[in-house]
Amino acid sequence: MSKISLIIKREYTTRVIKKSFIILTFLTPILFAGMITVPLWLSSIKDSNKKHIIVVDKTNSYSQVLKNNETYVFDFVNKPVAEIKKENTDKGENEFTALLVISGDLSENPKAAALYSDKQVNLELKSYISGMLSKFVEQQKLAAYNIPHLKEMVEKSKANIDIPTIKWGDNGQEKVGSAELALGIGMISAFVIYMFIIIYGAQVMSGVVQEKTSRIVEVIISSVKPFELMMGKIIGIALVGLTQFFMWVILTGSILFIGTRFIGGVDMASVQQANQAGMQSMAATQSPGEMQQLFALLHGFDFMQIIILFVLYFLGGYLLYASLFAAVGSAVDSETDTQQFSLPLTLPIIFAIYAAIYSAQNPDGPLAFWCSMIPFTSPIVMMVRLPFDVPAWQIILSLTILVLSFIGTTWMAGKIYRTGILMYGKKVTWKEMMKWLRY
C-alpha cells in the first residue's frame, strides 16, 4: 500500500467511526423524512376540543353569516363587552377562546369588527372569520347593485388557472415539469454542497491545526512529503463527505420508498372497495392522489445526471476550498487563530449561496451565468441551474474552469502548507504567507 493511501485510510477511518458522524449520518435522513411527513400528519389530526367564540353583535345581522365548523363554535350573546370581560377575569379560566365584537355595519365600516382574547388568536381562526365576513359583505354589495344574475356572473368569471409545464426531451418525448419542484431540487442540492464545503473544509483546517499543535507533523513529514500528507488528508475527508452523501441518498430514498408503499397500499385498498361497491365510474374519475402526482413530476427529472454532476461539483468545489483551508490551518498556531484567515475563504461561499438564491428566480440571467462560471461560486450556483436544463457547453466549461482552478489553488496551498507546518510560535500575516510561495 502506498503511503498516501495509508494517510487517506487513517483520515477516513478515524472520522467515520466517530459518534458524531454516525449520529449525523443516520439522523439526518430521518429528519428529512420527518420534515416532509410530520406537518402533513399533524394537519390531518383534528383538534377534538371545540373552541367557543363569543360574539357580541350590536347590529344583530350576522348570526346567519358565522357558521360553526368542526373546530369553532360561535355563541351569540347579548351582554355588554365590559361585563363579559369582568366575568372572564374573575373566573381566571377561559370558557371561550375569543370574543368577537361587531359594532356596526361592516359594509359601511369594514373596521367595525374586532377580536379580543387573552392569548394571541391563531391565524386560522382570524382568516376563517374574516373570510366569512368578507364574503358576506361582498355579496351584500353585489346585491345592492340590483343587477339580475350579477352574482352568478361574478361567480362564473372567477378563474383559477394552473399551467402545467411540459419539457421537450432530447428525443422528443414530453415530460411533465414543475418549476417549483425544479427550484426545490436545485436549492436543496446547492444547499447541501454549501454545507459540505463549509463543514468538510473546516474539518480539513482543524485537522491540520491539530497535527501542528500536537507536534506530530514533523514526525510524519520525515516519512512522507508534506504535499502527500496534505492531499491524503483532503482526499480522506472528501471520502467521508461522499460516504455521508450516499448514505443520505440511500436512507432518505428507502424511507420514502417504504412510506409511499404504505400510502400506495391504502390507495389500492380504497380503489378496490370502490369497485366492489359497484361504483366503478367514481373510481375511474377519481383524480390521482397528490403523492402520485408528485411522483409523476419527479420522474420528469434526470436524477442520475443531477447526482453525477452533484458529485463532480461537490468534489471540485471542495478540492478548491479544502486546500486553501489546509493552507490557513498550516499557518496558524492554534484553532482560535484560524478565524481571521478563514473569513476570506468563507465569504465567497456565503456569497455563493446568496447568488444561488437569486439565480433560482432567473436561472438563465447574467448573475446566474457568471456565478456558475466563476470557480469560487460555480459549485453552488450551478446546482440551482441544473434542474432548469443548462446547455451542455456551459456545464463543461464551468467544470473545466473549476478543475483548472483547484489544481492552481492546491499547488499554491501546497507551498504555503509546506512552510507553514514547520513554523512555530510566529504570528503570521498574509504578506508572510505570500512570501512562502517563493520558498
Partner 1 sequence: MILLEVENVVKQFAGHLALDSVSLSVPENTIYGLLGPNGAGKTTLIRIINCITAPDSGEVRLSGKRMTPGDVEQIGYLPEERGLYRKMKVGEQALYLARLKGMSKQDALKALKYWFEKFEIEEWWNKKVEELSKGMAQKVQFITTILHDPKLLIFDEPFSGFDPVNTDLMKREILNLRDKGATIIFSTHNMETVEDLCENISLVDQAKIVLQGNVADIRASYATKTYLVRSTGKVLGNEAFTLISQSDKHGIVESVIKKQTTEGNNALLEELMGQTDILSFEQLLPGMNDIFIETVRK
Determine, following the binding rule CB under 8 A, whether residue 86 of this chain makes contact with partner 1: no
Measured from the Cβ of residue 285, the count of other Cβ atoms closer than 10 Å reads 7
Alpha helices in 117-178 (DSSP H): 123-144, 150-157
Determine, following the binding rule CB under 8 A, whether residue 216 of this chain makes contact with partner 1: yes
CB of 428 to partner 1, least distance (A): 13
Among 43, 49, 78, 222, binds partner 1 (CB under 8 A): 222
Cell triple for residue 209? 491545526
Pick from 105, 125, 104: nearest CA to 115:
125
For residue 14, the cross-strand partners are: none
CB 326 within 8 A of CB 338: no
User: How much is the CA Rg of the chain, to the nearest whole Å?
Assistant: 31
CB 71 within 8 A of CB 46: yes
Q: Which is nearer to partner 1, 216 or 284 (CB)?
A: 216
Among 156, 215, 261, 427, binds partner 1 (CB under 8 A): 215
Q: How far apart are the first and last CA of the chain?
A: 31
Q: Which is nearer to partner 1, 1 or 392 (CB)?
A: 1
**Which of 29-37, 77-85, 224-232, 407-415 is the region at the interface with partner 1 (rule: CB under 8 A)?**
224-232
CB 4 within 8 A of CB 231: yes
Determine, following the binding rule CB under 8 A, whether residue 331 of this chain makes contact with partner 1: no
Site string for partner 1, 239-278 (x = CB under 8 A): ----------------------------------------
Determine, following the binding rule CB under 8 A, whether residue 218 of this chain makes contact with partner 1: yes
Cell triple for residue 376? 469560487
Cell triple for residue 20? 458524531
CB of 26 to partner 1, least distance (A): 22
Measured from the Cβ of residue 384, the count of other Cβ atoms closer than 10 Å reads 30
Q: Which is nearer to partner 1, 187 or 224 (CB)?
A: 224
**Which of 3-11, 101-109, 244-252, 378-386 is the region at the interface with partner 1 (rule: CB under 8 A)?**
3-11
Q: Whole-angstrom Cα distance, residue 133 to residue 62? A: 8
CB of 418 to partner 1, least distance (A): 9
CB of 221 to partner 1, least distance (A): 6
CB 321 within 8 A of CB 329: no
Say how many residues make up the chain: 439
Cell triple for residue 28? 439526518
CB of 337 to partner 1, least distance (A): 17
Local structure of 99: helix, strand or coil: strand
52: which DSSP letter? E
**Which of 34-42, 208-216, 241-249, 285-293 is the region at the interface with partner 1 (rule: CB under 8 A)?**
208-216
CB of 234 to partner 1, least distance (A): 17
Among 14, 68, 273, 305, binds partner 1 (CB under 8 A): 14
**Which of 1-9, 79-87, 375-383, 399-407 is the region at the interface with partner 1 (rule: CB under 8 A)?**
1-9
CB of 385 to partner 1, least distance (A): 41
Residues forming contacts to partner 1 in the complex (CB under 8 A) are 1, 3, 6-7, 10, 14, 210-211, 214-216, 218-226, 422, 424, 435, 439
